[in-house]
Structure 1
Amino acid sequence: MDDHSAHPLDDTRREFLRKAVTTATVAGLGASGTEVAAAEEHGGQAPQHENPFTLGVASGDPLPDSVVLWTRLAPEPLTEAGGMPGHQVPVQWEIATDEAMSQVVGKGTAKARPEYGHSVHIDVKGLDADTEYYYQFKVGSDRSPVGRTKTAPEPGMDVSEFTFAFTSCQNYPFGYYTAHDHLADEDLDLAIQLGDYIYEGGGQGVFGRGHEPPREIQNLSDYRIRQAQYKTDPNLQDAHAAFPWLVTWDDHEVENNYADATSEDNALTEEFLERRANAYQAYFEHQPLRPSRMPEGPNLPLYRRFTFGDLVEFNVLDTRQYRDDQVYSAEEADDPGRTILGDEQENWLVDGLTDSTSQWNVLANQVPFAATDENPNPDVQDFGGGDKWDGYRADRERLLGVMADDPELNPVVITGDVHRNYAYNLKADFSNPDSETVGTEYVGTSASSFGDGSGITQYGPSLGEPWQRFFNDDRGYVRCTITPEQWQTDYRVVSTVEKPEATVSTVASFTTDAGEPGATLASERPAQPQQTAVEIADIRPNQDGDLNNEYATVKNTGDTTIDFSGFILSFEAGSQNYTFGEFTLGPGETVTVRNGPGEDTESTLYADFGGPVLNNSNPDTVLVANEDGIVLDEASYPPV
């Protein structure tokens, strides 16, 4: 991609830009460089001798001629008003073509108002396309950190390469943002956050990063404090300051598993809509969204589209605000009237895909699109996909039809939510694994939610999902590099989220060729020596909540003893993992692990997870993995 910022601006062009971008649209106000005096006359300066920029800076929603700049004044971010006075405060901003902020091409003053948490959202216009810029805010003598941003190429412009990363699910008490630390070091054109930016509960964790306030949040003040707490993380601030972001939400920005106006516990609609309005306002106040996205009560128009030259178009979806409530049976999920997008958003999406002239077309989406509820055993009718597209099959089938109808669409779905990495081939008909592959889905793991994973990694299909090409449950983010000919996805995982510093590595890379939907492993698959002689000989699901009814028996089918130290037996497809201590298994020998309490023997071990496990559904499987986490065998539960 051409980088115009690498070339010095001549005087004429610099003067043109200086004039072109001295005005902007700002949330809740108008602003320009000539309004400083008026702002000061109707408001006051922020408290002196305190840093008002504790939440950092961010940019987002890049267009060819504009980008949104964001900050929020909060010298005391974990207090109700952020330590700010009850009146508006003028905030000066500048945008330049160099990091030293010496080549300023635009500036102005915004009014940070208390009714919007003293946040500012500046829609800087008149910028050059496909150009790198730097920006900074100033209040009194205090200056913010300098952020870097970049405008989009013009529609139709020849773009040879585009690199972005996506992330999701960053539960603050569950671990450090080591993923964001490394994300900030990536050379990206764009970053995308796919939801669960905050969590609404009162969890405290064990790392001294407990939620504030220490309870489930409900009112506007609580949501502001929680959003601000997450924004105080220095690694997250660095990632936001490094490149422009596209953001969307999932459920935890408001409440777990809410659907439209329905809360998880079916609270009164009026009460829940008030809570949703509080959450939506706090979300807007803390994200680089255009002023046109400002919420009106419990409504915030978040779905939107961004085009980068002739190469890629991103459809940023909202699968939470307009969805029907979750259902938990296949019969209910088949109802053709059910929707996850709402009619208006679905029509907008279908029209956009149909009219697109971009080489790659992306659905930036919250929850898994591929089918995850197809049990290989026809006698098992359990259903566990209510929160995913599995619970809204008619919507999914319509989009799969759009993908199938246009062989030049090159659709790719990027997804968060499930705290695991997956690669899926999207089938025209998920009831027939041999049907045509019409698209590709890359699912990213969490940044910190659920803490460190087990490292379990599976290459190729799973029993319940023959369209799966990859599974991994480490923590991290996903980096994607796009050219006109090929899409490459790198699953970047960190060594731990339990320490402020950690290493990062690429656990697997996949490619999708233009015109050939589906994911192909591009990196080397770890070798599996004699350990392939391990197989699951017998399994049984829990019954009536009795943990000791659930067990798995593993057999050494080879001719030599296998050192099982560090091997993992995973119940419920990764939800409950038993790691072997110092243990060997001779040729032909078996060992049974029971998912409950008991006294170990030579041939029977007890996982003793200390509580009930998930029911066998969706289709629950047992995995056995070696000490490197590589899956050696899996088996699906028989019907109860």
Structure 2
Amino acid sequence: MKTLGNASRREVLKGAVLLAGGTLMPACGKARSALASLGAYPFTLGIASGDPASDGFVIWTRLAPDWLQPDGGMPPVAVDVQWQVAESETFSRVVASGTSIASPAWGHSVHVEITGLRPDRPYWYRFRAGGELSPVGRGRTTPLAGADISAMRACFTSCQHYERGHYAAYRHMVADDPDVVLFLGDYIYEANPGAANHVRLHRNPEPVDLAGYRIRYATYKSDPLLQAAHAAAPWMTIWDDHEVANDYGHLQSEDDVDPALFLRRRMAAYQAYYEHMPLRRRALPVAEGMPIYRALDWGALAQFQLVDDRQYRSTRACDSEANGKLIPDCAERRDPARSILGAAQEEWLLDRVATSRAQWSILTQQTLFGTLHLRDTPERVPERFSRDGWDGFPATRDRIMQRWTDAKVRNPLIIGGDIHTFAAGDVLDARETVVASEFVGGSISSLGRDRAAARQVHEDNPRLALFDSSRRGYGRLDIKKARSEITFRSLVDARDPESPLAPDARFVVEDGLRGLLSA
């Protein structure tokens, strides 16, 4: 394994900036244009809103008349883009408007942070550029801090491999009319185009630079069902590994590429992520990284803590003893100095957990949080753990559980993705006491392990009430004062763009009580 050696982290970062050729710097000296025509419809990637607050939200688009080109088919000049926000879909009462600049340095993407709106209500927005009008999207504001709110609905999902299936799940999600959508990682997959029997193929080779990642994101965002889901409600997004490369962590790639070279790729991937997500300016990628961890408050009812388990994590544990990504229970795995979140983010999370007065506290993260006992031989011995998730960093998990206990958090919940499986279970501490309940919302299209393997995992982990890898879909979280209801919405067949839903699996967590119940 290659290491950083004597080079400091700052030196590696500085070197990567030089290698990147300054791609993260905004263009200077480029003429602005209010082009009368862009030659083709520029809103091929749709529109989106995100990161809602009590007085506003972000609205996003990217001009791309030819989305298969790295520059979107746009001229190399900054372009004026007009925007409007209204109180109704007819735009009879416009409450905010202005002009933003779509710069070629940022892929002609537009991120407008709307403020001055009223709390806890829907708004509608649209853009105009090159003489063309965008589709209309619906955003919404959150309730005021501490407001007495009786209910809210969030849908959560992850893992939308473009080649493995269609996005019929989003049609049903739109019909569910969520207040917010929580996307928990693997928005894209970075691999080369796959086998011809996939339902559709990636349109470019594996991306390693900004041009390649732009085309890959555009491929995904060209899907009309994904566009409709973005237009229907504000999204809160976090990433996992495939937005950059499989199983990467911090500056360590799966195949141990030189850290400075890998950072160049990571910077390109982070910029493309920013260009295609409805994120605030505080998430703007710079040489030191891209801060995406944050909290979403919904009055006094709920707080969602969204974390980043990739960018700041410690290096992998027990590499010399690993069988693939599975490791034994080695001492390094349990080292309290290691963190999946990094020291600064972990401190931030523990502070949010302790200081929030929300009735429901929801850790919003990428994967399965609680311990998952695995076996890697036909005899299923010795016991192994995944080094890529929380089981590779159990001390971080222990500190979070201890904070829930010490701060007397009334209703801790955990939602996740990554494992391409609908999972529900209770999280136990060292005394086998239930500390929280967790729910993994399947995957939009990415395939899971075969049924026999999933059944074996379920048998080896009795804390799990459900572990179903056979279907694709999403989770719906209905938070109320008396209870939170979790419904897993699964498709009959993700290869069918018109797929209906299969029967639901439903669970309930009662206010003030530890442990999930089947509903």
Closer, same or farther: CA 462–207 of 1 in aligned 2, 3 Å:
closer
1:592-638 C-alpha deviation (Å, 9 max, x unpaired): xxxxxxxxxxxxxxxxxxxxxxxxxxxxxxxxxxxxxxxxxxxxxxx
Amino acid at match of 1:348: W
Once the 2 structures are TM-superposed, how far is the Cα of residue 456 of structure 1 from its aligned partner? 9.9
Once the 2 structures are TM-superposed, how far is the Cα of residue 207 of structure 1 from its aligned partner? 4.3
Closer, same or farther: CA 452–266 of 1 in aligned 2, 3 Å:
closer
Distance in 1 of aligned mates of 2:159 and 2:458: 24
Once the 2 structures are TM-superposed, how far is the Cα of residue 326 of structure 1 from its aligned partner? 2.8
Distance in 2 of aligned mates of 1:340 and 1:455: 30
What secondary structure sits across from 1:180 in the alignment?
helix
Contact 2:481 / 2:511 at 8 angstroms: preserved in 1? yes
Closer, same or farther: CA 506–315 of 1 in aligned 2, 3 Å:
farther
Report what 2:512 is aligned to: 515
Contact 1:487 / 1:512 at 8 angstroms: preserved in 2? yes
Contact 1:407 / 1:515 at 8 angstroms: preserved in 2? no
Which is worse superposed, 443-452 or 54-63? 443-452
Closer, same or farther: CA 255–40 of 1 in aligned 2, 3 Å:
closer
What secondary structure sits across from 2:117 in the alignment?
coil
Report what 2:421 is aligned to: 420
Amino acid at match of 2:56: S
Q: How do residues 396-407 of structure 1 correspond to structure 2 at under 5 angstroms?
A: 396-407=397-408
User: TM-score, length-normalised on structure 2?
Assistant: 0.88
Contact 2:37 / 2:131 at 8 angstroms: preserved in 1? no
Distance in 1 of aligned mates of 2:380 and 2:445: 37
Distance in 2 of aligned mates of 1:52 and 1:247: 24
Report what 1:140 is aligned to: 130
What secondary structure sits across from 2:254 in the alignment?
coil
Alignment partner of 1:319 out of 309, 314, 324: 309
Number of matched pairs: 481
Report what 1:383 is aligned to: 384
Amino acid at match of 1:104: V
Amino acid at match of 2:355: D
Amino acid at match of 2:106: Y
Which is worse superposed, 203-212 or 284-293? 203-212
Closer, same or farther: CA 74–326 of 1 in aligned 2, 3 Å:
same
What secondary structure sits across from 1:237 in the alignment?
helix
Distance in 2 of aligned mates of 1:455 and 1:247: 32
Distance in 1 of aligned mates of 2:448 and 2:382: 32
Report what 1:503 is aligned to: 500
Once the 2 structures are TM-superposed, how far is the Cα of residue 402 of structure 1 from its aligned partner? 1.3
**Are residue 125 (structure 1) and residue 98 (structure 2) matched?**
no
Contact 1:40 / 1:89 at 8 angstroms: preserved in 2? no
What secondary structure sits across from 2:467 in the alignment?
strand
Closer, same or farther: CA 123–133 of 1 in aligned 2, 3 Å:
same
What secondary structure sits across from 1:61 in the alignment?
strand
1:290-322 C-alpha deviation (Å, 9 max, x unpaired): 012110036100100111100000100000001
Amino acid at match of 1:425: D
Report what 1:186 is aligned to: 176
Distance in 1 of aligned mates of 2:458 and 2:225: 35
**Are residue 350 (structure 1) and residue 350 (structure 2) matched?**
yes
Once the 2 structures are TM-superposed, how far is the Cα of residue 454 of structure 1 from its aligned partner? 5.7
Contact 2:210 / 2:268 at 8 angstroms: preserved in 1? yes
Distance in 1 of aligned mates of 2:76 and 2:42: 15
Q: How do residues 274-353 of structure 1 correspond to structure 2 at under 5 angstroms?
A: 274-297=264-287, 299-327=289-317, 328-331=327-330, 332-353=332-353
Amino acid at match of 2:338: R
* Identity level (%): 40
What secondary structure sits across from 2:487 in the alignment?
strand
1:380-403 C-alpha deviation (Å, 9 max, x unpaired): 334231111011011011111112
Amino acid at match of 2:340: I
Once the 2 structures are TM-superposed, how far is the Cα of residue 240 of structure 1 from its aligned partner? 0.3
Alignment partner of 2:441 out of 444, 448, 456: 444
Distance in 2 of aligned mates of 1:372 and 1:44: 55
Distance in 1 of aligned mates of 2:338 and 2:350: 17
Distance in 2 of aligned mates of 1:340 and 1:48: 45
What secondary structure sits across from 1:62 in the alignment?
strand
Once the 2 structures are TM-superposed, how far is the Cα of residue 216 of structure 1 from its aligned partner? 1.5
Contact 2:83 / 2:125 at 8 angstroms: preserved in 1? yes
Structure 1 runs not aligned, ≥5 long: 1-26, 30-38, 523-640
Amino acid at match of 2:241: D
Amino acid at match of 1:397: D
Distance in 1 of aligned mates of 2:93 and 2:25: 29
Contact 1:452 / 1:475 at 8 angstroms: preserved in 2? no
Amino acid at match of 1:419: H
Closer, same or farther: CA 243–173 of 1 in aligned 2, 3 Å:
same
Contact 1:57 / 1:147 at 8 angstroms: preserved in 2? yes
Report what 1:212 is aligned to: 203
Distance in 2 of aligned mates of 1:443 and 1:326: 24
